[in-house]
Amino acid sequence: MFGSKVRYGVSYKSNQRSFQLYRRAFWHNFKVPITQENLERSKAIELTSLNVFMVTKLDKVIIYDSETFEYRG
């Protein structure tokens, strides 16, 4: 058992007297930035029918592909 904010885990089997205690080896959540731009106060919306998501940036709208995360326009 590992929780989202727990660094230790417990492993056990039914009808066994003891249990194993493990420590989490790595601490990351697999998030990778798509762009290095400052998008503070931006809004985003996903358009699943077009397979894109749109992000606002000050006075323009940026469109990215939902699968490859490439800039579309």
**Is 1 a residue whose pLDDT tops 60?**
no
On the 0-12 / 13-18 / 19+ scale of CB atoms within 10 A, 45 is exposed
Mean pLDDT of 59-73: 89
Q: Whole-structure pTM over 0.75, yes or no?
A: no
What's residue 27's pLDDT?
64
Q: Name residues whose C-beta falls within 8 Å of residue 72's C-beta, 6 or more positions apart in sequence.
A: 52, 63, 64, 65
Strand ranges in the chain using DSSP code E only, listed in sequence order: 8-11, 20-23, 44-47, 52-57, 60-65
Instruction: Map out the domains of the chain as residue ranges.
Output: 8-65
Question: What is the tens place of the pLDDT at every residue in 17-56?
Answer: 777 766 666 666 666 677 788 888 889 999 999 999 999 9
Q: For 50-59, what is each residue's pLDDT tens digit?
A: 999 999 988 8
